[in-house]
Every structure is written in C-alpha cells, then in structure tokens.
Amino acid sequence: MSAAPILYFFVTIAVTLLITAWAAQAGSSRESLYAASSRLSGMQNGLALAGDTMSAGTILGIVGLYLVAGVDVAYFSVPSMAGFCLLLIFIVKPLRQLGRYTLGDVVASRFVDPRLRIVLGVCVVTVSLIYLVAQLVGAGALISLVFGLKFNVAVTIVGVLMAVYVSFGGMLAASWVQIIKAVLLIAMVGLLAALALRMSGGLGDLYVKAAARLAAKPSVFAFGTLDLSLFSSVSLLVTGVLGTIGMPHVLIRFFTVPDAQTAKQSMVIATTLIGAVMIMIILVIGPATLAFDSDIQGFRDSTGAVVGGPNMVAMHLVRFLGGDVLFGTMSAVIFATILAVVAGLTVAISSATSHDLVAAIRARPLGEKAEVVVFRVVAAACSAVAVGLAIVFQNHNLSFLLVMASSVAGSTTFPLLVLAIYWPRLTAEGAIACGVVGLVVSVGLIVLGPACWVQVLGFVEPVFPSDHPVLVSTPLAFAAGWLVSRQQSRSTMTTSRSAV
Amino acid sequence: MRIHRDPIHGRQYSGDVVMWQRLWRVAVALALLAQFAVLGEAPAWAAPAMLARFFGVPVSVWLVVLAYGGLVMLSWFCLRDSASASPRDQV
C-alpha cells in the first residue's frame, strides 16, 4: 500500500469538511438545508446532477462489466440517459413550478390530504434507504480494497461523515461536495482516456490491440454477449428509464435552482456531461482494459480472476497508465464520489421525513426551527441505521438492492408524479392507491424474484421469474390510481345527483 | 387554433409549431432506434459503418456512442422547446 492514497484520503476528508463548515456558516435555515436556498446556477446544479448519476458503483461497475460484457454495457448505461431526456421533456418544468422543498410539496399543490404526504414520504424514504444501504455496502468493500481499511471501519467513517455533512451543511454542502467531485471525476476520466490513447498509439491501434487479445475468445464487440432473453432485456431497459425518472435524490435537485428554466438548463448540462463521460468509457477506457489486460502487473490471480473483483478493473488500469500518484488521486476521487452520493441520499430521506412525514402525522406543519432540528436528528439517525444495515449485510450479494431501488422508484414516485402533474381527474384516494400498490407489488415481486428468493433466502425456484418487476408493478400502480379515482368520481357524482 | 404560451419568455407558439417540434423529436428517436436495429450489419452508407472504416472502431461501439450523442442532442433541442411546458402553462 503506497502513501499516496492515504494522503489523498485525508485531503478529501479535510476539503469536504471545510465545505461543510462554510455551508453551515452560509445558512442553517430550512431553505438552505432542504434546497441550498434555491440559489444554485444551472451549471452548478448540472454538475451536481451529473455527480448524482455517476456514482462510484456506476463508473467502476461499467468499466468492470465491459471486460465481460463488452458493448452490452449499453443495456445498463443508455437507459438512464434516456430517462434523463424523458425527465427533461415531461417532468422537470412542472416539478419545479409546483414544488418547493420535497416531492410531497408537488402533490400537496393539488391535494391537501395528509395521508398522501405520508404515502409519498414512505415511498421516498424506502427508495432512498434501499439505495443508501446498497451504496454503503459497495463503498465499504471498495474503500477496504483501495485504502486497506477494514469493512466496518470504512463504512463507519463514511456514515459519520455523511451525518456531519447533512446535519450541518444540508443540501448546500451536499451540492458543493457533489460539484467538486463531478469536476474531478470528469477530469480523471478524460485524463485516463488520453493516457490510454497515447500508450496505444491512437484509437484504431487500441482496437487492433484489443482484437488481437480477444482472438481466441468470442468477441465482446458484438451485441448479445450477455445473452439476455427478450423479456429480460426489455425489463432491464424499462427499469433503467423509469428508475432514473423516479429517483427522489435526483428529483429534489431541481428545487435547488431559482426557476424552471434554470432547472431545464441544469438537466441539459448534466445530460451532456454524463454523455461525454460514458462515451469516453465505452469508446476508449473499456477497450483499453481489454487491450492492456496482460500488460498490467497483478491484474489477475492464478485462477484468472481480476484481483479485488470486477470493480477494481478501472483502478488497475489507472495504476498501469498513471502510476501511484494517479492511482492515489483516483482513489480520492472515488472516495469523494461515495461521500457525495450518500450525502445526497441522506438529504432526500431527512427532508421527506421532517417536511412530509412528521408534519402529516402531527396533522399540522412544524415551525421552521423545530423542522430544522428534526431534519438534523433524522440525518444522524438515518446514517446510523444505514451503517448498521450495511455491516449486517456486508457478506450478502446485494446487487438486488440496486435493482429494488430503481424498481420501487419506477413503480411509486414515477406514476404518482405523472398522474399528479398530467391527469386532472386524479383524486387523493387514487393517488394513495397508486403509491401503495406500486410499493407493495414492486417490493413483493423483488423478494419473490431470483436474486432475493433464490440467492439470498436459499429457495430452489423463484416464485416470480424476473429480477425486474416494473413491467408488472408500474402498470398496476397506474391502474390502481385510475380505478380508484374513477370509482370515487362516480360515487361523488351519484351523491351530488341524490342531493339535487 | 390552440395557442401554447412559454411562461418563462412569454413567447406564444401555435399548435402547428408544437406539433412539428414533437414530430422532430420522434424522428430523432426513430433514427436512433434504426441505428440500433441494424446492429452489426449496418449498410455502407450508415454513419457507424463509415466511422468504423475510418477509425477502425467496431460498428457496435459507434452505435452506442451515437445513441449517447443522439440523446445529448435531443436534450439540447428540448431546452427551448415550448412543448415541454406543463399542461397548466398552456393557454
């Protein structure tokens, strides 16, 4: 273990804590904690949005998967971009115009029913907590490998830091950590692509070299390496698209800018940055892992497996192309990436709890000071719970949790927002039915699917055949919303006629 | 004729303009889907095949790159597009 990663590790912690101290000094009002006082520019929010989407798992996972699946990684990466475009076209503008701090505000602009705030709050907390635990388990494993720390220590450090960022700095600190990390990540990916091209002698030569290494194997430069069935590929694509549209920690970012047009600008900037990074990965960095496979010392063990697992492929390539200094810098960027993403998720959970759940359960809003206190307490409690769950489940394969988060988001927040914004006949009861059915069906089917029922719970056959239930749960959520609203409208009309 | 108003800039668009904007988006989306549909057997005139010959990069990789490029372009088209206004903004 060289000194460079350790040094950069402490530099990252120091810089992010300084940002938090500045954010805490800049303001500790409800506006600042929930929405960075809605003062971020389009470029700043665009960078933060890009950072939210490009998590450590996404970047390292896609490079690692390229080694096995080749261009089939498009199944995992392109749908989220398509989801961003749909978000931009249909959701961003009305969302920003109707909401102020949380997604609950958007539906509250139409319905005053506190039960609806509770349902949406539960959906947001469920999605974000599942995603947070999955991120923490991945983060703990990654930090253990890169910095040589024990899993429990690594996860606890991340948990304590995220509680400090969110409790004291709120959305402002989370946004600036995310912005700085996004700039560093984009610069690092660009530098890595340039170094790979320089070492191979150009783009064409890189592919010639990669093709020579692949001579004896089936080519990964053709679609179909993953051999997915039609149902699986369609489910995967739909989950990627709808999950991106419904992710609460992404949606609440649009409340950090002053108006709807700036929100749209930030979305376009984010899409451009994500597109540029993904193009560099798929066009240059992915093929570079194939081309330099046998040149990298310590890349594979005696069994032929990648040392440290598939997520470490990119890190091996970084060390090979840029030496220990670049490896240390990349490690720090990955650490900052983990911190920024978990902080964003914690903000989503804390704001939904203090602004939606607590106020709705009390049946009247909290005062601003009390709401700020609840926000901070929830941030600390949520960090502790997430760390505890990550430690308990550290040895389980939690890939199904990431799918579960996307599926639950695509089956709850997505249909609720679409109906609340675009369907004038939606009733409060219809919206509640939509959220409850989406939540119960999506979680239930994932538990009954192969990844949880067979791999985690140990049963022989799954009850539900797919790991991606959105093709079933999302239409059911829409149908429940439509059916209950229609029934209620009819009974209201009958009552009115009887009264007349 | 139905008039759509952009509440940010105060511009007004006729229903025809909005329809053309929507058709343009659909055309871009269909072009992207067509690129994927041809997969590795792109005809010689198709952009990925030409790029593949020129740079020595497989057609499938260019298809993914073009998908990303197309989605980024699509997002830029949508930035100033009145059709993405919510139903409540439409007059």
Global pTM? 0.85
Chain A touched by B60 (CB under 8 Å) = yes
Burial of residue A294 (number of CB atoms within 10 Å: 0-12, 13-18, 19+): exposed
Report pLDDT for B44.
53
**Sequence-distant contacts of A39-44: CB under 8 A, at least 24 apart:** A39/A256, A39/A258, A40/A175, A40/A256, A40/A257, A40/A266, A41/A257, A41/A262, A42/A257, A42/A262, A42/A263, A42/A265, A42/A266, A42/A269, A43/A266, A43/A269, A44/A175, A44/A179, A44/A266
If one counts every other C-beta atom within 10 angstroms of the C-beta of residue B17, the result is 16
Other beta carbons within 10 angstroms of residue B26's beta carbon come to 10
Q: Is B29 on the interface with A (CB under 8 A)?
A: no
DSSP for residue A201: T
Tell me the residue type at A117: R
Cβ-based neighbour number of residue A226 at 10 Å: 16
- Inter-chain CB proximity B61 and A81 less than 8 Å: no
Rg over CA atoms, chain B: 18
Contacts of A114 (CB under 8 A, 6+ apart): A359, A360, A361, A363
Alpha carbon of A479 to those of A110, A116, A385, A413, A476: distances in Å? 20, 17, 34, 15, 5
Q: In terms of DSSP H, where are the helices of A281-312?
A: 286-291
Q: Which residues of chain B make contact with A88, given a CB cutoff of 8 A?
A: 75, 78, 84
Would you give the distance in Å from CA A219 to the centre of its chain?
31
Are residues B78 and A223, on separate chains, in Cβ contact within 8 Å? no
* Residue contact A259–B8, C-beta within 8 A: yes
Whether the CB of B58 is below 8 Å from some CB of chain A: the reply is: yes
Give the model's pLDDT for residue A385: 94
CB atoms near residue A14 (< 10 Å): 10
**Would you list which residues of chain A are within 8 Å, Cβ to Cβ, of chain B?**
70-71, 74, 78, 81-82, 84-85, 88-90, 92-94, 97, 203-205, 207-208, 221-223, 259-261, 264-265, 267-268, 271-272, 275-276, 278-279, 282-283, 287, 421-422, 424
Cross-chain residue pair B68–A208, CB shorter than 8 Å: no
- Determine how many CB atoms are found less than 10 A away from the CB of residue A37: 18
Q: A358-408 pLDDT, tens per residue?
A: 888 887 777 888 888 999 999 999 999 999 998 887 776 666 677 788 999
Q: What does each of the 91 residues of chain B score in pLDDT, given as a tens digit? A: 455 555 444 555 555 666 676 677 777 766 765 665 554 455 555 666 666 666 778 878 888 888 899 889 888 887 765 444 444 443 3
A–B interface: beta-carbon pairs under 8 A:
103
Residue in chain B closest to A263 (alpha carbons) equals B79
Tokens found for residue A112: 């005053």
Residue A284 C-alpha, separation from nearest chain B C-alpha, in angstroms? 10
- Under 8 Å CB-to-CB from A59, ≥6 apart: which residues? A185, A189, A277, A281, A314, A334, A337
Distance, in Å, from the CA atom of A413 to the CA atom of A420, rounded to the nearest integer, reads 10
Burial level of A452, CB count in 10 A (0-12/13-18/19+)? buried
3-state helix, strand, coil in chain B (%, to 5): 70, 10, 25
Which residue(s) pair with B13 in the sheet? B4
A contact test, residue of B39, B64, B88 with most A CBs within 10 A = B64
Distance, in Å, from the CA atom of A91 to the CA atom of A103, rounded to the nearest integer, reads 12
Q: Is B86 on the interface with A (CB under 8 A)?
A: yes
Question: Residues of A with CB below 8 A from B29's CB?
Answer: none
For residue B45, count other CB atoms closer than 10 A to its CB: 7
In DSSP terms, A137 is beta-bridged to none
**Residue type at A64?**
G
Tell me how close the Cα of B88 comes to any Cα of chain A, in angstroms: 8
Give pLDDT tens digits along chain A (500 positions): 567 777 877 888 888 888 888 888 877 788 888 888 888 999 999 999 999 888 877 788 888 888 888 888 888 888 989 999 999 988 998 999 888 888 888 888 888 888 998 999 999 999 999 889 888 887 887 788 777 788 899 899 989 988 998 888 889 988 998 999 899 999 999 999 999 999 988 888 888 888 887 765 657 788 878 777 788 788 888 999 999 999 999 999 999 999 998 999 999 999 999 999 999 999 999 999 888 877 777 778 777 788 777 778 888 899 899 888 888 888 888 888 888 889 999 999 999 998 889 888 887 777 888 888 999 999 999 999 999 998 887 776 666 677 788 999 999 999 999 999 989 899 999 999 999 999 999 999 988 988 888 887 889 898 988 888 999 999 999 999 999 999 988 777 676 666 65
Cα–Cα–Cα angle for A391, A336, A269, rounded to 5 degrees: 125
Tell me the CA end-to-end span of chain A in Å, nearest whole number.
Answer: 82
What DSSP element (H or E) covers A191?
helix A170-200
pLDDT in tens, A293-337: 777 777 787 777 887 777 788 888 998 998 888 888 888 888 888
- Given the structure tokens 């990955």, which residue do they identify? A334
Say which amino acid occupies A310: P
**DSSP characters over A98-142:** H-SSSHHHHHHTT---HHHHHHHHHHHHHHHHHHHHHHHHHHHHH
Nearest-angstrom CA–CA distance, A91 and A241: 13
pLDDT tens for each residue of B54-68: 677 887 888 888 889
Question: How many residues can be counted in chain B?
Answer: 91
Rounded to the nearest angstrom, the minimum Cα separation between A168 and chain B is 34
Helices of type H across A298-425: 313-351, 358-362, 368-392, 399-411, 413-422
